Structure 1
């Protein structure tokens, strides 16, 4: 980080709202259709057509505004933003200028252990343009208007970020939020979530903003970081060389890692905004807002804190489990099934085998519940997450349902299988999701041996056959204990109850 120069960053995030139809027409918003098959007369701006506002887009915009504690405008106006580009069939884009639907909100981010509040100036509704295609055409460009009219919520921040790390943290937080609210699928590869980044630099301690350049259409957090860092260094070099920086729109080339100017940056008056004569002002009353507020999901931060306080989870674990609503729902469904069906007496022997008989029932209940909850979280974070990543699946596409995985956790908690055997059962469940953990255990003879007589017989044999190691242990070499545990488990093909093995071995070796 330069000690002489300060970077100033603001983001404009274009979020495609997850409505089934477009913002001013009934045409489909489904991704992947053949070019120009989802652009109707309204999207094309043909003579005589009139736009009709999609109420679902308004609801999603209000939901976002409530989530960022913003002001919801009781009256907002749609305007025409006039410019010419081949993929803009009407010659103007319907957007909002002077009176946006959402204003003055904020988002808190954490960077290097420090919490920063990023102001959100506004979030306004607008329609998307089409798409120009260059790759498949020699000397020409193709125009696909399927996206024309797709509803967007453009989220405009204050210039409150001072580094690429700040910008990435903010963009990721917005990305997480819009998916959590289910107002956007967040698919950056498909263009559902795109960022324009305004970057300027100024001498540290100076209040006046420097000349900004806008990096357009970044659809990757990695590219965003690279683009900001390159642009910042380029601007500093220009200023140090006493060269003028001209306001411009630039593109980032991921192949070279550089930004390049595309055109001089327009100001608002260049677009000749004026209210759209075909659309009435949008009026939103308190009842409409209250209805949306009543249907809002629990917010990520609130849920994260609840997981820490109620389930006694580590903050890092709670953050992972609340990184998406799908993961949070999977965890809470599992937790409910396990806690409802858990036999405390059986679980006590597995989780706290050496506890004292004098311990209170409430203490044991709390202790077992906390261990069981951490076990549920651990299986989601480690085994399930690794397998989902390997097969490139999201958690809501998991072949193993939360109820089925909860069944596996109960088998561990009740001492029927060890953690090692549980991984084998998990693999079988993944391959045959119609089966259950208990049916796999039964069919493959994987149930853990808890017969103390059978375990004791094997322990006696192992101790008799390894007199030298017995002497070492009794001479103070505690590390040898692991050797005996391994030998017993090997002799019993991993099916012996580890808690019983440890307890009985300890007693036998002490003589």
Structure 2
């Protein structure tokens, strides 16, 4: 078999064996949707800056987005400023002059039959990003370019079992996303990562997400498509200089999936090479449910797109004063951010490392900013929230907002909820039932501290355990625990345990 497509999709080589024989070479293309008020080349509202899930299809469009004859693009100045800021944060040089190009290809959700992008004249180039891995080691990822472009629309395939075009009866086109401003960040080939390649992939995308969020230019929520990663993987036999043939796994939409997709492709490609096959240069689709990739289309080279300069747009020539202004406004780097949080919150190295590895630093800071104590914020994000996220195979930050976590913690701190009740409230918040207070009211989960109700429950518990009071009088105060436990059980965990203890001890003192 000489063709990689002739092998079973589940043919995989053991990961350690694959790494012993082949060296992975990585590359990433990360697309960032900019949260400008309007689109890249039109005055239509930008759905990336709104809750696009609640917007009717094809209502955020203008003639330019639809590719209607006679419509002309106009560059969004704020998108240019955002793009320069991102380029500076990536350590890139900013072009004195650059221009847009037409990338020609047909796709149903691209009304013009070309995409306005940048080709040989990007706004930013030659940078690098420092990435920290789970064990604390750092890795410098080289950046080739960061260029501006517009997004395409969105296809919805109807009638099939998988939601993909294969097997669908028809497809619907939504042009709301067409024209949304993007910055595409392209790395140079990354070599030498070895067994840490999947972890580096996850850490790199997380770093880009943190940079974008700190700049305030995008929500960078992967589950909403604000930030998407195309992961390129190739293998070369150990000791060989020439790179192998790469595949490009498209639009991976979570940090966990980026890591899994890179690991899977390493094992899949190694199995093909070990069996004497060849790797097909192609795009691959990532399947979250099975943790596998499948073939997409043969990967086109730049020549196939017939790039040529966009005739309807003038070159972009950012002034030295603008670049200096944007450089002066840059926030701290992700490394500086981590060091500051650890110092401010007083976590030990291991406590802080858990937060870093769970990619929850931004959520932690925002929760503390809403009034929660750092230790309590860490406890809830790394505890119950992360447990639910892992059980669902999603990122913890997508389940609940920092505001709601801080409100939940406040209810516990104020004695309105026990930890047990708070976990039930969290389940309601995650299920979309509202804020913590709304869930408490709807489910009737508040702690009962009314003495009348508590006294009635205590009387019932003492009737079943008449010797408890005498044991307490004899100095065995811990005997009160049996009554407290019985009261908590009878009141479904909603009794104020501290108040129950006080009332039991008062009864024993009579």
TM-score (norm 2): 0.70
Aligned to 2:316: 282
Question: How many Å separate the matches in 1 of 2:21 and 2:380?
Answer: 48
Matched, 1:431 2:448: no
Aligned to 1:125: 148
Structure 2: gaps (5+ residues):
1-15, 161-167, 426-434, 453-468, 488-495, 502-510
Question: How many Å separate the matches in 1 of 2:277 and 2:422?
Answer: 67
Mark the CA change 1:486 to 1:135 in structure 2 (over 3 Å): closer, same or farther. same
Say which is worse superposed, 134-143 or 150-159, in terms of deviation: 134-143
Q: Pick the aligned partner of 2:176 from 131, 146, 153.
A: 146
Deviation of 1:421 (Å): 6.8
Question: How many Å separate the matches in 2 of 1:282 and 1:401?
Answer: 46
Provide the secondary structure at the position in 2 that maps to 1:141.
strand
Aligned to 1:503: none
Say which is worse superposed, 421-430 or 67-76, in terms of deviation: 421-430
Task: Give per-residue Cα distances to partners, 1:94-143, cap 9 Å, x unaligned.
Answer: 11111211222323131444322211211111011122332248643332
Matched, 1:314 2:344: no
Task: Give per-residue Cα distances to partners, 1:361-405, cap 9 Å, x unaligned.
Answer: xxxxxxxxxxx8646755776689889999985334418559xx6
Question: How many Å separate the matches in 1 of 2:72 and 2:220?
Answer: 30
Aligned to 1:67: 89
Question: How many Å separate the matches in 2 of 1:39 and 1:264?
Answer: 31
Deviation of 1:173 (Å): 2.3
Say which is worse superposed, 92-101 or 248-257, in terms of deviation: 248-257
Aligned to 1:338: none
Deviation of 1:88 (Å): 1.6
Task: Give per-residue Cα distances to partners, 1:246-277, cap 9 Å, x unaligned.
Answer: 32223334455443333322111111112111
Mark the CA change 1:133 to 1:490 in structure 2 (over 3 Å): closer, same or farther. closer
Deviation of 1:86 (Å): 2.0
Aligned to 1:465: 474
Mark the CA change 1:143 to 1:334 in structure 2 (over 3 Å): closer, same or farther. closer
Any conservation in 2 of the 1:123–1:156 contact (CA below 8 Å)? yes
Deviation of 1:80 (Å): 0.8
Question: How many Å separate the matches in 1 of 2:270 and 2:388?
Answer: 45
Structure 1: gaps (5+ residues):
336-371, 412-416, 447-459, 471-480, 499-511
Q: Pick the aligned partner of 1:243 from 277, 281, 299.
A: 277
User: Equivalences for 1:289-304 in 2 at 5 Å?
Assistant: 289-304=323-338
User: Equivalences for 1:259-270 in 2 at 5 Å?
Assistant: 259-270=293-304
Question: How many Å separate the matches in 2 of 1:17 and 1:139?
Answer: 34
Any conservation in 2 of the 1:79–1:95 contact (CA below 8 Å)? yes
Any conservation in 1 of the 2:133–2:199 contact (CA below 8 Å)? no
Provide the secondary structure at the position in 2 that maps to 1:269.
helix
The number of equivalent residue pairs is 426
Any conservation in 1 of the 2:407–2:436 contact (CA below 8 Å)? no
Any conservation in 2 of the 1:388–1:398 contact (CA below 8 Å)? no
Q: Pick the aligned partner of 1:398 from 404, 408, 421.
A: 404
User: Equivalences for 1:22-421 in 2 at 5 Å?
Assistant: 22-30=39-47, 31-32=52-53, 33-103=55-125, 104-136=127-159, 139-160=169-190, 161-162=193-194, 163-254=197-288, 257-318=291-352, 320=355, 323-325=360-362, 327-332=364-369, 334=371, 374=375, 378=379, 394-398=400-404, 401=407
Mark the CA change 1:287 to 1:441 in structure 2 (over 3 Å): closer, same or farther. farther
Mark the CA change 1:383 to 1:147 in structure 2 (over 3 Å): closer, same or farther. closer
Task: Give per-residue Cα distances to partners, 1:189-233, cap 9 Å, x unaligned.
Answer: 332222211111101122211111222222234443443333323
Provide the secondary structure at the position in 1 that maps to 2:122.
coil
Provide the secondary structure at the position in 2 that maps to 1:50.
coil
Question: How many Å separate the matches in 1 of 2:66 and 2:254?
Answer: 30
Deviation of 1:5 (Å): 0.9
Say which is worse superposed, 135-144 or 16-25, in terms of deviation: 135-144
Question: How many Å separate the matches in 1 of 2:485 and 2:291?
Answer: 55
Deviating above 6 A after TM superposition, structure 1's stretches of 4 or more consecutive aligned residues are 383-392, 419-429, 432-435, 440-443, 487-493
Any conservation in 1 of the 2:282–2:295 contact (CA below 8 Å)? yes
Question: How many Å separate the matches in 2 of 1:110 and 1:5?
Answer: 22
Deviation of 1:55 (Å): 1.7
Question: How many Å separate the matches in 2 of 1:259 and 1:490?
Answer: 52
Question: How many Å separate the matches in 2 of 1:78 and 1:491?
Answer: 72
Provide the secondary structure at the position in 2 that maps to 1:334.
coil
Aligned Cα root-mean-square deviation (Å)? 4.3
Mark the CA change 1:186 to 1:333 in structure 2 (over 3 Å): closer, same or farther. closer
Provide the secondary structure at the position in 1 that maps to 2:236.
strand
Provide the secondary structure at the position in 2 that maps to 1:398.
helix
Higher relative contact order (CA 8 A, sep 6+): 2
Question: How many Å separate the matches in 1 of 2:295 and 2:438?
Answer: 55
Mark the CA change 1:408 to 1:61 in structure 2 (over 3 Å): closer, same or farther. same
Say which is worse superposed, 86-95 or 375-384, in terms of deviation: 375-384
Task: Give per-residue Cα distances to partners, 1:153-193, cap 9 Å, x unaligned.
Answer: 11111221542222122222223332333322233333222
Question: How many Å separate the matches in 2 of 1:73 and 1:327?
Answer: 36
Question: How many Å separate the matches in 2 of 1:298 and 1:189?
Answer: 25
Any conservation in 2 of the 1:17–1:183 contact (CA below 8 Å)? yes
Mark the CA change 1:128 to 1:425 in structure 2 (over 3 Å): closer, same or farther. closer
Any conservation in 1 of the 2:364–2:374 contact (CA below 8 Å)? no
Question: How many Å separate the matches in 1 of 2:383 and 2:367?
Answer: 14
